[in-house]
């Protein structure tokens, strides 16, 4: 988070081998995302429970592939699908490792919302594939809607959320989501990417707030004291769930549009 935060590229930012992929214009939302927004919040029982996260690896689709809701425990859940012709699951493993070391890479993903990214450790030596992000902390600053947050994304192995190990046909990018302002975690996410005849589809799931708020590395400590820090990341449940759905749909669709070409050029980095 050192230095000025600003949206998009300035000055010399574009002077990288990948700078030409920065595109400030983002496409319209896919129709299935627009419909999910029209429908608004869903009943908790229509949404995937955190305890069933591992079912993301099952074949077929779930009751709510696109939608969000505020649950009775105060948490909120968000689900959204991204269709990605020409993309493979392994491109996303590469992306999650490759982007995190440089704000200019991170900004390719969501030019209207991403401000800063850095690994908590600076050590890039010898890492490849999912080993490049699993077990590491990505410290990011971004907007979700109008809410600016300083997040700590702690990537975990798929098995921690009940998913099988990554393979050629499917990968599960899983993480604990927290604040980088204090030792507070607030949620979990999975981006499950699997092959389709046209390329791949990403099915994203977020569980935020409520019972997912915990003092980092002290899960039994009461969450009340840390709630103000948590709320800086979580925002207002009723609006942030919606905004998170939009944000995720935007960034995943945007990147998917040039990920194959990006991977072709930099996939061996």
| Contacts with its own copies, residue ranges (CB under 8 A) | 5-8, 24, 28-29, 34-35, 37-46, 63, 69-72, 112-113, 115, 143, 145-146, 148, 236, 238-239, 242-243, 246, 250
Smallest gap from Cβ 111 to its own copies, in A, equals 9
Pick 154 or 250: Cβ nearer its own copies? 250
For residue 214, the cross-strand partners are 185
Instruction: Give the Å distances, CA to CA, from 159 to 44, 92, 165, 208, 224.
Output: 25, 18, 7, 20, 30
Smallest gap from Cβ 162 to its own copies, in A, equals 21
CA–CA gap between residue 234 and residue 224 (Å, rounded): 14
CA–CA gap between residue 94 and residue 126 (Å, rounded): 14
Pick 15 or 146: Cβ nearer its own copies? 146
Smallest gap from Cβ 34 to its own copies, in A, equals 6
Instruction: Give the Å distances, CA to CA, from 59 to 6, 96, 97, 150, 175.
Output: 41, 24, 26, 35, 22
Smallest gap from Cβ 31 to its own copies, in A, equals 9
Smallest gap from Cβ 104 to its own copies, in A, equals 16
Smallest gap from Cβ 171 to its own copies, in A, equals 28
Pick 32 or 216: Cβ nearer its own copies? 32
CA–CA gap between residue 16 and residue 83 (Å, rounded): 28
| Residue recorded with tokens 């390329």 | 199
Pick 35 or 52: Cβ nearer its own copies? 35
Contact yes or no for 222/85 (Cβ under 8 A): no
Pick 35 or 269: Cβ nearer its own copies? 35
Length of the chain: 269
Pick 8 or 19: Cβ nearer its own copies? 8
| Residue recorded with tokens 């960034």 | 251
């Amino acid at each position: 988070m050192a230095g000025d935060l600003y949206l998009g590229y300035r000055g010399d930012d574009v002077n990288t081998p990948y700078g030409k992929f920065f595109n400030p214009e983002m496409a319209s939302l896919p129709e299935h995302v627009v419909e999910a927004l029209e429908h608004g919040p869903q009943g908790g029982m229509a949404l995937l429970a955190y305890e069933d996260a591992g079912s993301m690896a099952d074949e077929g689709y779930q009751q709510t592939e696109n939608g969000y809701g505020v649950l009775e425990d105060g948490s909120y859940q968000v689900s959204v699908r991204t269709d990605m012709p020409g993309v493979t699951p392994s491109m996303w493993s590469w992306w999650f490792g490759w982007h995190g070391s440089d704000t200019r890479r991170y900004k390719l993903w969501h030019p209207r919302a991403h401000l800063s990214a850095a690994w908590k450790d600076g050590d890039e030596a010898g890492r490849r594939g999912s080993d490049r992000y699993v077990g590491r902390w990505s410290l990011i600053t971004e907007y979700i809607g109008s809410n600016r947050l300083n997040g700590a994304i702690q990537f975990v192995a798929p098995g921690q959320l009940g998913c099988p190990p990554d393979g050629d046909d499917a990968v599960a990018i899983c993480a604990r989501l927290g604040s980088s302002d204090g030792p507070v975690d607030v949620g979990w996410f999975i981006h499950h990417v699997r092959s389709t005849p046209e390329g791949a589809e990403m099915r994203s799931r977020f569980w935020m707030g409520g019972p997912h708020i915990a003092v980092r590395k002290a899960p039994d400590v009461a969450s009340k004291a840390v709630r103000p820090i948590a709320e800086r990341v979580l925002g207002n449940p009723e609006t942030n769930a919606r905004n998170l759905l939009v944000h995720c749909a935007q960034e995943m669709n945007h990147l998917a549009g040039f990920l194959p070409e990006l991977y072709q050029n930099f996939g061996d980095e």
